[in-house]
Amino acid sequence: MNQSQSHVERCGFLFFCKFAIQKIAVDLHIPSKYIQNAVEQMASLPGVGKKTALRLVLDLLKRDPKSVEKFSAAFTDLIQNIKKCKSCGVIADNDVCNICLNPKRDQSIVCVVEDLRDVLAIEATESFSGIYHVLGGIISPMDGIGPGDLNFQSLVQKAESGEINEVILALSATMEGDTTNFYIYKKIGQFNLEISTLSRGVAVGSELHYADEITLGRSIMNRMPYSVK
């Protein structure tokens, strides 16, 4: 391909992009089933509308095809290789996560969280040296999430076996978080262990991972006994 041919193709491509953006702004009819499909996949991500999805897809189209292949391969690798720690449920590359394997962590203190974002938020405070238990969500009848959809079993088994001394309930201070706390309390309250909850430096009604590091760090250090009242 000579330089003028490449220039013509590039101009044609840019014209096509401009045309596609104008078109979607009016009626979202995309003149390519491939782009349409890619936009639909991209727009299925939370917080990504169709216009943003189109902009991202067109940006990928402008890149070197090898870099797009790398982009796509990263997600294929992720889906094929990612695991959940058998012990705590944290997303990990191996069967057991680095936190559970770390001999410096206190295995007798378990901090119960909703998902990986909360683990990362608490780890960033450098205030907690126990291990985690990831539920994979919280009980939310409005969203059709019941106890059977969440990872409670291994927590109850650990509590029953006597291998843990304390469970810290570090769920969001929302109605769903409170419901889940109560459910856990009903399941493990009869065993010989301490159940604590975060001090309310974490704002009521807000999600845990949005709290700043200092507030979250203080909340976990000043945790208080869990009470159903």
Closer by beta carbon to Zn ion, 90 or else 122: 90
Which one of 85, 134, 138, 170 is in contact with Zn ion (CB under 5 A)? Answer: 85
Collect all residues with Cβ–Cβ distance below 8 Å to 48 and sequence separation of at least 6: 42, 56
Q: Which residues, 6 or more positions from 171, have their beta carbon under 8 angstroms from its beta carbon?
A: 112, 113, 114, 135, 138, 177, 180, 181, 208
User: Dihedral of CA 119/123/124/125: which sign?
Assistant: positive
Residue from 120, 102, 104, 90 nearest 213 by CA: 120
Adjacent-strand bridge partners of 83: 92
Interface size with Zn ion, residues (CB under 5 A):
6
The strand ranges marked E within 28-178 are 83-84, 91-92, 106-113, 130-134, 166-169
Using the contact rule CB under 5 A, the part of the chain among 38-46, 87-95, 156-164, 195-203 near Zn ion is: 87-95
User: Closer to Zn ion at the Cβ: 35 or 97?
Assistant: 97
Give whichever of 42 and 85 is closer to Zn ion, judged by the CB atom. 85
CA atoms of 155 and 199, how far apart (whole Å)? 22
CB closer to Zn ion, 88 vs 220: 88
- Least Å distance, CB 91 to Zn ion, is 10
Residue 60 or 96: the one with the smaller Cβ distance to Zn ion is 96
Site string for Zn ion, 153-192 (x = CB under 5 A): ----------------------------------------
Among 20, 30, 53, 88, binds Zn ion (CB under 5 A): 88
**Least Cβ distance, residue 151 to Zn ion (angstroms):** 12
> Nearest approach, Cβ of 84 to Zn ion (angstroms)?
9
Distance between CA 211 and CA 198 in Å, rounded? 12
Separation CA 15–CA 17 (nearest Å): 5
Nearer to Zn ion, 35 or 110 (CB): 110
State yes or no: residue 87 binds Zn ion (CB under 5 A).
Answer: yes
Task: Tell which positions 97-136 bind Zn ion, by CB under 5 A.
Answer: 97, 100
With both helix axes pointing from N to C terminus, report the angle between 65-81 and 50-62 in degrees, rounded to the nearest 10: 120
Residues in contact with Zn ion by CB under 5 A are: 85, 87-88, 90, 97, 100
